[in-house]
Amino acid sequence: MASLHLRLPDDLDDYLTRSARQTRRSKNEIAAQMLEEARRVRQFPGIAYRGTDWARRPWLVASGMDVWEAMMLLRDYADREALFRDLPLREQDARLAEAYAERYPDEIAEALAENDMDLDTFSAAYPSITVLRLDD
């Protein structure tokens, strides 16, 4: 892993220090995550990041959908024209989500797999949550 030494403005260093303390991660880890997100935002204009420090996720600024959500719709909708007509996903956003997913396939596949989790697996993973089954 490469090493980089920077002189940071005091307010940015304070932010990194607070974030490191709150998340129990190092300032280097926080800064590396911030730089990686900034790189991806520049690489894919129209994508931003949101979520907690430990679960950041890319989303499409124009539609408000997470990238994985757009990919799920593209996978599950047979008629793309109907998808673009009926939901707040534009064709250019779909192309952006597809390009991001192509570049970072494991990240998107993991999010899709978590969303596709069957109810029994979900119940086992989160035993304190009551799952209501519509077919019961």
| CATH for 93 | 1.10.10
pLDDT tens figures, 43-98: 999 999 999 877 899 999 999 999 999 999 999 999 999 999 999 999 999 999 99
Give the pLDDT band of residue 136 (cuts 50, 70, 90).
low
Residues 62 and 91 in one domain: yes
The beta-carbon contacts of 43-52 under 8 Å, at least 24 apart in sequence, are 43/103, 44/96, 44/99, 44/100, 44/103, 46/92, 46/93, 46/96, 47/96, 47/100
Residue 129 lies in a domain: no
∠ CA 103-106-109, nearest 5°, is 110
Query: pLDDT at position 126, please?
Result: 86
Residues 53 and 114 in one domain: yes
Give the pLDDT band of residue 134 (cuts 50, 70, 90).
confident
Task: Domain count for the chain, please give it.
Answer: 2
* Bridge-based pairing state of the strands 47-50 and 57-60: antiparallel
Residues 39 and 79 in one domain: no
Residues 84 and 105 in one domain: yes
Residues 91 and 27 in one domain: no
pTM for this entry: 0.83
Residues 77 and 115 in one domain: yes
Provide the domain limits for residue 101. Answer: 48-120
Query: pLDDT at position 67, please?
Result: 98
Residues 103 and 70 in one domain: yes
Query: pLDDT at position 89, please?
Result: 93
Q: Tell me the mean pLDDT in the region 100-129.
A: 91
Residue 131 lies in a domain: no
